[in-house]
Amino acid sequence: MVRNTVVLCMRRPSRSCTLLLLLLVATVVDVGPRLAPVHGGLARHGRGGGGGLRDKLSVYEQRRFARQIEEQENSGLYDSSDSVISLTAANLKERVYNQPHASLVEFYNSYCGFCRRFAPIWKQLAADILGWQTLVKVTALDCSREENNAICREYEVMAYPTIRFFAPHYTDGEQKIGEPLKEHDGPRILDRLVEFMARVENKPASWPNLTTINQTTDDKASLFAEGAGTANAQPRYVYLINEKDANSTIGLQVVLDFHDTPGVAVFRVHDPATDTNNLSVIDGSSLSLIRLPIDEFSRDKVREAIRAHLRQHHIIVTDVTTKSTTTKAGGQGGDGQPSEQSISALMEQSKNRPSGRNVKELGAGVVYQADLEEAIRF
């Protein structure tokens, strides 16, 4: 084989052929660079395995390297381009228990056909409520991974996918495995989530007011008290969403959409004097109530009507609650700025491309895996 390779390379000299000859010489004579475990696309050189590229990285670069490996190992049906946070057995309790926010956890199996069909629904749900991320996190844990098997048994996961709600400040303990959600349809999951959030007892300071108020008895001025219905300072405008269907969650969804908007408070209202769905606004300067027109009583239409009114008063609200699961070209988010996921991806890509300084430090004995593969293919 060696003789045939030498003859072939003499007839057709090339860079790939030269690399192949060097590899053959190194193998036969037992000199030169040795192949070793590849780190970041580079093979370590030298006999002792020391002096590799990873050893020369800074602590910050090593942490980024470890993060990339963790993401690759734990991605399952979801990755960093989604709004879904991937959990593992090692960090589930740390990220779910005793937190100032709620968590919605999907226990799934990446080999399950239904889970694969359900994944786009879960991704879209996470994107639709991205603006609620300070209140509730949408997460997922892959039970098909061996290291996650034990915790899935601990949480009594009997079918896939299994969805559980964990309230803020949820404490660990026996049979503390969250509240089950049996729905697997996006809108119904959202309804159930809002119902759970409305029943939270141990509310964080930033939790919005999700109780229904009575428009005929509640004092208008009390709605403008500092912190009333919102975690922000005293609002300039109070929006009242009247729903005739007591089981509807549209009003509470809009309350959550604007929970952190400065100068704005939104309440769900029950007005026995009217049998229609409507939207009104109270101006804090005059306490006058104005009915706002809406084409259709839906989350999107009500939210857009509120935004239109705010724009008239030179208040711009950034829409981050219905971010599409696809990003714009160049990895930009809805505001034209690079998303956090895009920045993370760019950092990882940059790390994987060795700089001229790092290559120079490795010396002339470095062998690129891609070059060796090219030589073998030749």
CATH number at residue 269: 3.40.30.10
187 and 227: one domain?
Answer: no
> Taking the CB of residue 109, how many other CB atoms lie within 10 A of it?
22
Asked if 142 and 151 touch (Cβ cutoff 8 Å), the reply is no
* 81/72 Cα distance (integer angstroms): 12
The domain boundary residue, chosen from 313, 331, 362:
313
Query: What pLDDT, on a 0 to 100 scale, did the predictor assign at position 23?
Result: 55
Asked whether residue 329 is assigned to any structural domain, the reply reads no
247 and 303: one domain?
Answer: yes
232 and 182: one domain?
Answer: no
Asked whether residue 129 is assigned to any structural domain, the reply reads yes
309: confidence class by pLDDT, cuts 50, 70, 90: very high
Lowest mean pLDDT among 41-50, 280-289, 317-326: 41-50
Which has more pLDDT, 7 or 195? 195
Whether 83 has a pLDDT exceeding 80, the answer reads yes
Asked whether residue 180 is assigned to any structural domain, the reply reads yes
Asked whether residue 31 is assigned to any structural domain, the reply reads no
DSSP symbols for 48-109: SS-S-HHHHS-HHHHHHHHHHHHHHHH-TT--TTSSPEEE-TTTHHHHHTT-SSEEEEEEE-
* 128/86 Cα distance (integer angstroms): 17
Asked whether residue 53 is assigned to any structural domain, the reply reads no
**Span 111-132, mean pLDDT?**
95
The domain boundary residue, chosen from 313, 336, 351:
313
224: confidence class by pLDDT, cuts 50, 70, 90: confident
* 65/54 Cα distance (integer angstroms): 9
The domain boundary residue, chosen from 290, 313, 336:
313
Query: What pLDDT, on a 0 to 100 scale, did the predictor assign at position 223?
Result: 85
Residue 163's beta-bridge partner residues?
106, 181
Asked whether residue 273 is assigned to any structural domain, the reply reads yes
* 81/75 Cα distance (integer angstroms): 10
Give the number of domains in the chain.
Answer: 2
171 and 90: one domain?
Answer: yes
Q: What is the dihedral of CA 109, 112, 113, 115, to 10 degrees?
A: -30
Query: What pLDDT, on a 0 to 100 scale, did the predictor assign at position 7?
Result: 44
Which residues 6+ apart lie within 8 Å of 313 measured at CB? Answer: 236, 237
Whether 339 has a pLDDT exceeding 80, the answer reads no
349: confidence class by pLDDT, cuts 50, 70, 90: very low
Whether 373 has a pLDDT exceeding 70, the answer reads no
Angle at 139 between CA 134 and CA 142, to 5 degrees: 165
- What mean pLDDT value characterizes the chain? 76
89 and 195: one domain?
Answer: yes
Asked whether residue 27 is assigned to any structural domain, the reply reads no
14: confidence class by pLDDT, cuts 50, 70, 90: low
119: confidence class by pLDDT, cuts 50, 70, 90: very high
For residue 256, what are the domain limits? 220-313
* 132/104 Cα distance (integer angstroms): 12
Q: Which residue has the tokens 């920045």?
A: 343
Asked whether residue 182 is assigned to any structural domain, the reply reads yes
Find, among 224, 237, 218, the residue nearest to 283 by Cα: 237
Lowest mean pLDDT among 85-89, 160-164, 319-323: 319-323
* 188/132 Cα distance (integer angstroms): 17
Q: Two tokens at 9?
A: 């390379």
Query: What pLDDT, on a 0 to 100 scale, did the predictor assign at position 246?
Result: 85
Q: Looking at the chain, list the stretches that DSSP marks H as alpha helix, in order from N- to C-terminal side.
A: 2-11, 15-29, 53-56, 59-74, 92-96, 113-128, 149-154, 186-198, 250-257, 299-312, 340-352, 356-362, 369-377
Query: What pLDDT, on a 0 to 100 scale, did the predictor assign at position 143?
Result: 96
225 and 131: one domain?
Answer: no
227 and 143: one domain?
Answer: no
Whether 351 has a pLDDT exceeding 90, the answer reads no
237 and 293: one domain?
Answer: yes
**Span 134-139, mean pLDDT?**
96
